[in-house]
Amino acid sequence: MPPKQSVLAKKAFPLRLDPALYAALERVAAADLRSVNAEVEVLLREALARRGIKLAASEPPRRGRPPRAGE
């Protein structure tokens, strides 16, 4: 049986990129203090916005420790 995915799970897929393009993404991501994956997502959202395609706001990732049981 395949693992269950939550509604908020992100879609994973392989992406083949030219090494020079990936290196440029790494530099931009590092300058913005993001991972390459997060930078690609930001760039895709910006490109869609320029085309007038609106996306529902995604829930921001949870930060920090989870609450203790009983709190």
Q: Is the pLDDT of residue 58 over 70?
A: yes
Half-sphere exposure of 33 (CA within 13 A, CB side): 0
Tell me the two tokens of residue 30.
Answer: 């590092």
Share of the chain above pLDDT 70, in %: 87
pLDDT of res. 3: 54
Question: Is residue 70 within 8 Å of 60, Cβ to Cβ?
Answer: no
Tell me the two tokens of residue 41.
Answer: 């997502």
Q: Is the pLDDT of residue 5 over 70?
A: no
10 Å CB burial of residue 42 (0-12, 13-18, 19+) is middle
Q: Is the pLDDT of residue 23 over 90?
A: yes
pLDDT in tens, 24-53: 999 999 999 999 999 999 999 999 999 999
Write phi, then psi, for 39 (nearest 5 degrees).
-65, -40
pLDDT of res. 48: 95
